[in-house]
Amino acid sequence: MPTQPPASPPPVRKAATSKGSATKASAAKASAAKSVTTRASAAKAVAKSTARTQSPRSPSSQPGGDGASLDRPWGGSRRGGGRRDLYRPGMRSDVERWSLISRLLTWVLSRPGLVLGLTGSREEVALGGRVLHRGVQALIQLVDLLGRMTGSDRSDDPLGGREEFVQLARLAMPVRTDVHVTGRHVPGPDGAPEIAVRVYRRFGVGVGTAVDEHRPSAIVFFHGGGWVVGDLDSHDASCRLLAAVTGCVVVAVDYRLAPEHPFPAAVEDCLAAYAWVQRNHEELGTAPGMVGVMGDSAGGNLAAVVALETRPGRSAHVADVPPPVAQGLVYPATDARLDSPSIHALAEGFFLTKAGMETYRGLYLPDSGDWEDVRASPLLADDHAGVAPAVIVTAGFDPLRDDGFRYAEALQKAGVAVDYRCYDDQIHGFFAMGIIPDSLALAIETCDAMGRLMRRVSSGA
């Protein structure tokens, strides 16, 4: 069983270095046959290497027998071949729409030295052996600079920052244009209002698939925002990306927010929306029973809770609403006590702060007696057996890093298949930071991992 490293020491700043490389390539017609032979040999070598990489490991390094250690990436390096275009870290004008400001920010953050030079922060940021991505470092410095210039600080006023949160989210991500999006309302919990949802389907998905087994799966997505901010608009681009990459029908849920609607209102809304998706597969054109859950941050918390609470024997389980077949948890909050080593070591300086999390917790969970309720802290559940296989993603410079890691460990101990990855150079929120090319590629990779998991469980593999 891998163990989590101890709390990291204070950040160490090292002198930045620059690397340059130049590549020259040439080909001649006379060597075409030799080139083909060389490529064939290389392909065999790659296949042999892959076979070695995927050879069986001991149970302690192979969560749920699914081939990924808790302290290393689940798939190693990105796969080549036909998937390389999927991870291309550049603007794709054929299927993406970028605002002018987003294009400018992407250009700037692709050249982080410009920003870091202006702010006098050229030194790399290293913490616990991890080195912060230069583009992410530049974004942090840029936001800090703009905040000081404008005097804008919403840390003590999360409610006043709701609209700002949506506006910034729209600037940070490209909009996929190859996805059909529709809105509707579904029944809420007993005595509560209807819930607004948004349905995403990549064009061409589900066309001509009258047979159930050929219909696409569904993913119910719960947005992040500390249970206080965020809505369908703030995560629209992320849900479009998820639908485009996975080929699943994505249903985003606009659950009620605190402090107007404190715990457990968000949980109840998410359970109701999930039940609607399960019961209305004919209307959605999805395969019956093939429903996964996914979310980022607070949404990852809600996805984990839905997976736990819909198991047979739990209070939220009903006969016609089976539990999810898969769960995707992106830097999830799993322990409301907020006392992990990473929360203390990364308490400030990387967007999400310990003080900010305590403020949001006070709005969502005003009664400290609820902090250890498993519907608020899924990590504290007595038993995680029987929950859906999971993709769990964390970031190296995220205070919630330990929350995700520990939850992956808890699922593994319960015999649940887990694909875990920590993106060491990223921060909380990278899943929606498409203006940094590498962060966008990692968001795509996360969506692709969820899509692979959905296909695997749908095929019964």
Report the catalytic residues: 297, 398, 428
Structure token pair of residue 138: 């530049």
Cα–Cα distance, 26 to 11 (Å, whole number):
45
CA distances, 434 to each of 91, 349, 354 (Å): 10, 20, 25
Give the three-class secondary structure for 250: strand
Cα–Cα distance, 321 to 386 (Å, whole number):
15
**Residue 185 is inside which H or E element, if any?**
strand 179-186
CA angle at 35 for the pair 30 and 40, rounded to the nearest 5°: 150
DSSP-derived secondary structure for 413-456 = HTT--EEEEEETT--TTGGG-TTSHHHHHHHHHHHHHHHHHHHH
- Residue 214's Cβ-count burial label (10 Å; 0-12, 13-18, 19+) is exposed
CA distances, 154 to each of 146, 163, 165, 424, 428 (Å): 13, 11, 10, 27, 17
Distance of CA 374 to the CA centre of its chain: 21
8-state DSSP, 123 = S
Pairing of strands 291-296, 218-222: parallel
